[in-house]
């Protein structure tokens, strides 16, 4: 079996497993941020998250191993490498949330991409929720912080992802500002994906309607051709019948003349 086929099989079989791991990862992280458990419990949750995160690392290594052209695949997936390697550095551990969003998008995106409203709502909700958790964890204990509870974090994420930016709440830490930049990029990317999805859906619908019209037109043309053939056969049959009738009339007239000649007085 070709390497590309093995890679596709791996990605197909692993995406929902990784999605399940990502959901557990998100639940554990939510408990850490929102419940603020005691240190011992928090350390245990950190260990669980590390084990879960190693799953994403294993997925990257397997995909690299199965890639038909490893060097090319490696350079084309440098972002994947960054988001599985950099979070092992303590100051950058929040980048684990990037791979979380990426895995969930990879697993569920194809399934609902055709449903634009559902796709938009799911993507936006996930992005806002993850960013809110990350921002709250980073900002709430900082000096002069304006984001100190989850409600404020959600409000900040919504106005940021929509690029409104009222400015009533804002990050004061460097990590918080990095999260803000990533969220803004994510919001712009989401808008781009939605626009592309809508455009693709419109083109597909137009193409389907055009194909349907072409099929209907072809069917009508075929029906007209069949009718023309049928009428042509009827006309030929009618003409043949008339010709046969005239032939019989000529033969009858000829016989009459012969009989008259035979019985005429001499």
222-256 pLDDT per residue, tens: 777 777 777 777 777 665 666 666 666 666 666 55
Nearest to 186 by CA among 110, 128, 118: 128
Q: pLDDT category, 156, cuts 50, 70, 90?
A: very high
**Confidence (pLDDT) at 104:** 55
**Confidence (pLDDT) at 41:** 92
22-54 pLDDT per residue, tens: 788 888 888 988 888 898 998 999 898 888 888
Residue 257 has pLDDT above 90, yes or no: no
- Give Rg (Cα) of the chain: 38
**Confidence (pLDDT) at 26:** 83
**Confidence (pLDDT) at 115:** 61
Distance of CA 125 to CAs 30, 174, 224, Å? Answer: 14, 24, 55
**Confidence (pLDDT) at 92:** 44
**pTM for the predicted model, two decimal places:** 0.63
Averaged pLDDT of the chain: 76
Give the 3-state DSSP-derived string for the chain, with helices as H, strands as E and coil as C.
CCHHHHHHHHHHHHHHHHHHHHHHHHHHHHHHHHHCCCHHHHHHHHHHHHHHHHHHHHHHHHHHHHCCCHHHHHHHCHHHHHHHHHHHCHHHHHHHHHHHHHHHHHHHHHHHCCCHHHHHHHHHHHHHHHHHHHHHHHHCCCCCCCCCCHHHHHHHHHHHHCCCCCCCCCCCCHHHHHHHHHHHHHHHHHHHHHHHHHHHHHHHHHHHHHHHHHHHHHHHHHHHHHHHHHHHHHHHHHHHHHHHHHHHHHHHHHHHHHHHHHHCCC
198-228 pLDDT per residue, tens: 777 677 767 766 666 666 677 777 777 777 7
**Confidence (pLDDT) at 18:** 76
**Confidence (pLDDT) at 134:** 87
Nearest to 135 by CA among 179, 91, 194: 179
* CA triple 258-261-264, angle to 5 deg: 145
Residue with tokens 């009428």: 231
74-108 pLDDT per residue, tens: 888 887 777 777 665 444 455 555 556 666 556 55
Measured between alpha carbons, how far is 146 from 127 in angstroms, rounded to an integer? Answer: 21
**Confidence (pLDDT) at 90:** 44
User: What percent of the chain has a predicted confidence (pLDDT) above 70?
Assistant: 68
Domain range summary for the chain, segments of one domain joined by +: 1-101
More confident residue, 6 or 247: 6
163-188 pLDDT per residue, tens: 787 878 889 988 888 888 888 888 88
């Amino acid at each position: 079996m070709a390497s590309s086929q093995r890679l596709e099989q791996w990605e197909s079989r692993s995406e929902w497993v990784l999605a399940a791991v990502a959901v557990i990862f998100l639940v554990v992280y939510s408990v850490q941020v929102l419940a603020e458990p005691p240190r011992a419990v928090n350390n245990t949750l950190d260990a669980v998250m590390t084990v879960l995160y190693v799953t994403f690392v294993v997925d990257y290594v397997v995909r690299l191993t199965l890639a038909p052209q490893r060097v090319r695949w490696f350079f084309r997936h440098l972002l994947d490498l960054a988001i599985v390697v950099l979070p092992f550095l303590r100051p950058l551990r929040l980048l684990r949330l990037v791979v979380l969003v990426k895995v969930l998008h990879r697993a569920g995106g194809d399934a609902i991409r055709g449903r634009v409203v559902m796709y938009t709502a799911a993507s936006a909700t996930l992005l806002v929720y993850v960013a809110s958790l990350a921002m709250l964890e980073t900002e709430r204990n900082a000096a002069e912080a304006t984001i100190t509870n989850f409600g404020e974090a959600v409000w900040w994420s919504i106005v940021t992802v929509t690029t409104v930016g009222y400015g009533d709440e804002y990050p004061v830490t460097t990590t918080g500002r990095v999260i803000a930049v990533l969220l803004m990029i994510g919001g712009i990317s989401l808008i781009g994906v939605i626009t592309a999805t809508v455009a693709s859906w419109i083109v597909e619908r137009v193409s389907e309607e055009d194909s349907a019209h072409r099929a209907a037109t072809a069917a009508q043309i075929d029906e007209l051709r069949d009718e023309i053939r049928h009428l042509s056969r009827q006309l030929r049959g009618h003409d043949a019948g008339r010709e046969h009738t005239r032939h019989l009339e000529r033969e009858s007239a000829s016989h009459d003349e012969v009989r008259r000649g035979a019985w005429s007085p001499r």
